[in-house]
Amino acid sequence: MEAYLGIDVGSVTTKLAVLDKNDELITHTYRLTQGKPIDMVQQGLVEIKEQLPENVDICGVATTGSARYLAGVVVGADLVKNEITSHAVAAMLHFPEVQTIIEIGGQDSKIIIIRDGVVTDFGMNTVCAAGTGSFLDHQAVRLNMSIEALSQRALDSRTPTRIAGRCGVFAESDMVHKQQVGHRIEDILYGLCQALVRNYLNNVGLGKEIKPPIVFQGGVAFNQAIVKAFQAELKAEIFVPPHHEIMGAIGAALLVHEEMESNGNDSKFRGFGVSGVKYHTSSFECKACPNLCEIAKLALDSQVIARWGGRCDLWERIPAEEVK
């Protein structure tokens, strides 16, 4: 069976998805990155191998996400793509007419504007946690409830409390104050969801023409209270695709399928055996110019096999054996 593997390594979660030659999802895995992207990719490969039929042949692998270059070197990727392209391609598979994609993950959020099947604009927020899933997780822990319970309690709200949501620190202080003066917890929680939505639209979505159909992707789309708040704020229906939490990985698999069919080359995939290989990562400061870029370095058995991370491609162009 011909199949294509997409790997999305984010700061909070690592996702792997396998599609067949008809671009149907065969299997997938979703796990916390925990600051160990290589380990999580390797563990994800073990899980994927156990779930796949024995006759599956991986004909192409692509990586995306914040650790896409690192993951690409580890697995032997045929294609390395940014998150914007991967999420857009996956969304258009399910909703060909989509014009706006809202994507909120654990530590960043994005908006992607699509017109006539082409990405025409995008915005990202990687600075403030107030518009991301990690802020909701933190508040759930503070209130001693699961993130699922937070979502359900928020949906019970009838008179939402307005929470100052421009900053995560101020939002938490405002929530504590509202609790102390006697507001109902469900009203505070839905107010928090509304604050996250306002923060997203006023920062990531600022100046963007948000047109329907609107698709909501990323792990935060599990939270139905956030979906409800977006619908109320935008006065439009919000579509949440199946497997919305792994859309980046699905998009990567779609892209590598197209790439491998067009170039006809054999895959560079190192095989599932890489799950047992011990890699070492480190970094150093490049002094070739005043930028002083921090360069990431990946080594296998004390031999450097890849470098990346500079503003230019100096270290990507120099073979490891030529560097003193």
For residue 8, the cross-strand partners are 15, 64
Q: Are strands 13-20 and 238-239 parallel, antiparallel or unpaired?
A: unpaired
Q: Read off the pLDDT band of 198 (50, 70, 90).
A: confident
Same domain, 317 and 231: no
Same domain, 167 and 259: no
The token pair that represents 158 in the structure block = 């009838």
Cα distances (Å, whole numbers) of residue 224 to 13, 147, 149, 241? 20, 11, 11, 13
Q: Read off the pLDDT band of 324 (50, 70, 90).
A: very low
Triad 244, 113, 243: Cα angle to 5°: 5
Same domain, 107 and 225: yes
- Average pLDDT on 34-61 reads 92
Same domain, 72 and 138: no
Same domain, 271 and 210: no
- Residue 131 is predicted with a pLDDT of 63
Same domain, 111 and 200: yes
Same domain, 175 and 311: no
Cβ-contact 214, 232 below 8 angstroms: no
Return the biggest CA–CA distance within the chain.
67
CA distance 161 to 183: 7
Tens digits of residue pLDDT in 116-175: 999 999 998 866 666 677 778 888 888 888 888 888 999 998 998 888 766 666 777 877
CA distance 212 to 101: 9
Same domain, 309 and 202: no
Same domain, 150 and 227: yes
Q: Read off the pLDDT band of 214 (50, 70, 90).
A: very high
Whole-model pTM? 0.85
Same domain, 105 and 203: yes
- Containing domain of residue 69, as a range? 2-87+247-276
CATH number at residue 13: 3.30.420.40
Tens digits of residue pLDDT in 268-321: 999 998 888 888 888 889 888 888 988 888 888 778 877 877 778 787 666 554
The token pair that represents 153 in the structure block = 């309690």
Q: How many domains does the chain have?
A: 3
Q: Which of 93-97, 136-140, 258-262 is predicted least confidently? A: 136-140
Cα distances (Å, whole numbers) of residue 107 to 85, 110, 255, 290? 19, 11, 25, 30
Same domain, 186 and 272: no
Same domain, 182 and 110: yes
Query: Mean pLDDT, the chain, as a whole number?
Result: 88
